[in-house]
Amino acid sequence: MIAYIEPYFLDNDADAASAATAAGKSTDAVSESLDIEGEILCGGATADIAGKDFGGMNCVKPLAVVRPVGPEDIAGAVKAALRSDQLTVAARGNGHSINGQAMAEGGLVIDMRSTAENHFEVGFLSGGGTAFVDVSGGALWENVLKRCVSEYGLAPRSWTDYLGLTVGGTLSNAGVSGQAFRYGPQTENVTELDVVTGNGDFVTCSEMENSELFFSVLGGLGQFGIITRARVLLQPAPHMVRWIRVVYAEFDEFTRDAEWLVSQKDESSFDYVEGFVFVNGDDPANGWPTVPLHPDHDFDPTRLPQSSGSVLYCLELALHYRDSDSNSTVDKRVDRLIGRLSFNEGLRFEVDLPYVDFLLRVKRSEEIAKVNGTWETPHPWLNLFVSKRDIGDFDRTVFKELVKNGVGGPMLVYPLLRSRWDDRTSVVLPEGEIFYIVALLRFVPPCAKASSVEKMVVQNQEIVQWCVKNGIDFKLYLPHYKSREKWIRHFGNRWSRFVDRKAMFDPMAILSPGQKIFNRAP
């Protein structure tokens, strides 16, 4: 049935009136052939829901958007695609990808948000007493946080900076923030998954049960299965956070301190370590004003050494504490750690805030960006992992030259430890124990011309090409390649494992076509 209606949809977008009629008929036809309980949307509405993403640079038309009630509906959609000649299926979390990764041109997009409320059960791992929460793959992390803290006083251990992302979406990549140096990425903090594979099977998997599927799906770019439930490890939620920023003029001092902090034992460091590069100037979007944490704080550039260059570096730290901890106890713990660091005196900023507000800090930036229009404009972002060996070269060429005037948004750079990442997942990393995440989070003003977005995309390509040409040990994070040759280079010696996993769990290459790694098998 799907095979019969597929061409009908793809050819039928001529004029609005006939499209509307077609949409009505087609919805009925698709509903019949899919035989699922949830909602099915066809026609114009699908482009609004699933035809674009946060990146804003891709636009494709799916055949239909499916809002599943549960895993049976998802399996039903996958099986319908298996019976067809060319249909594909993409799980869509919150559509916060940059390069169309959650899209399916002419295929079925599964809007996972409709399943957000399907799971929320807190329990304890047998033996250890470690708490966990079972949540839906379509749940937003911000809602997981709020419920865990308010109902149980517990919280997941590893986060992303921004929490308007789904559990399934970040687990398909890695999920990285300032806690990852201690707990590893989010993919290291789940112990069990329910997954609908590309064979249409519904499988529970963990390190002990169906482990090949478990590790394939984690960081698997949606290629092996659709996560419908994840068991996420929890810790007691701290009440408060001391949030601190300190400024460096020299990159090697910044990296030395950051690497020292992430290499300390658990109780001997901050609970969160990140960093960013900013422009040495008063530009409100890229320079000094981006550093202070409170309107009363003032960035005093006279505190900078004469030798300061075009860009400066900021280490961002946080220490968790409880309501019952006195101010002097917190001060002492902070001073003990910060006394070891060699940032520029006088350029230290700090505030105390509730833990939940700290984790939701990017929400405020989202609100501002929505008001000034930059949340809706394209986001040609570039995310990389660069090995410690090459981060100095990267600084000299990329930060100090190519993006020395800023990118209109944050330029993150902070170290992570490879030993916190399980090699069995599908994520690929540079060599060496310490590597840096680099994120050029470009924001484009609404008045900008299309050509300026193109220039940013070209600059991203230049940075990647420079890395390749100069033998920089790097991997793209949230990767995006268009040719098989580049995907093979990306995965390196993990490519054959990735291909074998695909053959096992999605042999017809139905899942996540927007990643452009495999072509749908006829």
Catalytic positions, written as ranges? 96, 161, 274
3-state SS class at 134: strand
275 near ligand FAD, rule: CB under 6 A:
no
The site for ligand FAD, by CB under 6 A, has a size of 35
Minimum CB separation from ligand FAD for residue 275, in Å? 13
| Residue that is written with structure tokens 């750690």 in the block | 337
Minimum CB separation from ligand FAD for residue 514, in Å? 6
95 near ligand FAD, rule: CB under 6 A:
yes
Q: Measured from the CB atom, is 54 or 343 closer to ligand FAD? A: 54
Minimum CB separation from ligand FAD for residue 519, in Å? 16
173 near ligand FAD, rule: CB under 6 A:
yes
Q: Measured from the CB atom, is 49 or 499 closer to ligand FAD? A: 49
Q: How many CA atoms lie within 13 A of 270 on its CB side?
A: 30
Please identify which residue in 33, 84, 88, 94 interacts with ligand FAD, judged by CB under 6 A.
94
165 near ligand FAD, rule: CB under 6 A:
yes
Question: Binding string, 473-492, against ligand FAD, x = CB under 6 A?
Answer: -----x--------------
Q: Which of residues 30-59 bind ligand FAD (CB under 6 A)?
A: 54
Please identify which residue in 86, 160, 269, 377 interacts with ligand FAD, judged by CB under 6 A.
160
Q: Are the C-beta atoms of 420 and 359 separated by less than 8 Å?
A: no
Q: Measured from the CB atom, is 93 or 287 closer to ligand FAD? A: 93
DSSP for 303-361, written as a single string: GS-TT--SEEEEEEEEEEE-TTS-HHHHHHHHHHHHTT--PPTT-EEEEEEEHHHHHTH
Under 8 Å CB-to-CB from 487, ≥6 apart: which residues? 479, 481, 495, 517
- Angstrom distances, CA of residue 139 to CA of 177, 311, 404, 489: 19, 38, 38, 33
For β-strands 474-476 and 411-417, DSSP reports them as: unpaired
Give the tokens for residue 233: 């490890």
456 near ligand FAD, rule: CB under 6 A:
no
Please identify which residue in 162, 288, 443, 498 interacts with ligand FAD, judged by CB under 6 A.
162
Minimum CB separation from ligand FAD for residue 231, in Å? 14
Minimum CB separation from ligand FAD for residue 16, in Å? 28
Please identify which residue in 71, 137, 200, 479 interacts with ligand FAD, judged by CB under 6 A.
137
Angle subtended at Cα 138 by Cα 370 and Cα 430, rounded to the nearest 5 degrees? 80
Q: Measured from the CB atom, is 143 or 170 closer to ligand FAD? A: 170
Q: Which of residues 211-230 bind ligand FAD (CB under 6 A)?
A: 221-222, 226-227
Q: How many CA atoms lie within 13 A of 2 on its CB side?
A: 23
Single-letter code of the amino acid located at 89: V
Minimum CB separation from ligand FAD for residue 269, in Å? 20
Give the tokens for residue 170: 């970040």
Please identify which residue in 58, 86, 97, 290 interacts with ligand FAD, judged by CB under 6 A.
97
Q: Going along 69-184, which residue ranges are E strands?
A: 89-92, 108-111, 120-124, 131-136, 154-156
Q: Are the C-beta atoms of 501 and 220 separated by less than 8 Å?
A: yes
HEC profile for 453-496? HHHHHHHHHHHHHHHHHCCCCEEECCCCCCCHHHHHHHHHHHHH
Minimum CB separation from ligand FAD for residue 520, in Å? 14
408 near ligand FAD, rule: CB under 6 A:
no
Q: Measured from the CB atom, is 343 or 479 closer to ligand FAD? A: 479
158 near ligand FAD, rule: CB under 6 A:
no
Q: Per CB under 6 A, which region of 202-210, 240-248, 318-326, 512-520 contacts ligand FAD? A: 512-520
Angle subtended at Cα 35 by Cα 30 and Cα 36, rounded to the nearest 5 degrees? 100
HEC profile for 206-274? ECCCCHHHHHHHCCCCCCCEEEEEEEEEEEECCCEEEEEEEEECCHHHHHHHHHHHHHCCHHHCCCEEE
175 near ligand FAD, rule: CB under 6 A:
yes
* Residue least distant from ligand FAD (Cβ): 168
187 near ligand FAD, rule: CB under 6 A:
no
170 near ligand FAD, rule: CB under 6 A:
yes
Please identify which residue in 93, 200, 410, 430 interacts with ligand FAD, judged by CB under 6 A.
93
Q: Per CB under 6 A, which region of 91-99, 309-317, 445-453, 456-464 contacts ligand FAD? A: 91-99
- Angstrom distances, CA of residue 212 to CA of 180, 208, 227, 235, 295: 24, 9, 14, 27, 51
Query: Which residues contribute to the site for ligand FAD (CB under 6 A)?
Result: 54, 90-97, 101-102, 112, 137, 160-162, 165-166, 168-170, 172-177, 221-222, 226-227, 478, 512, 514-515
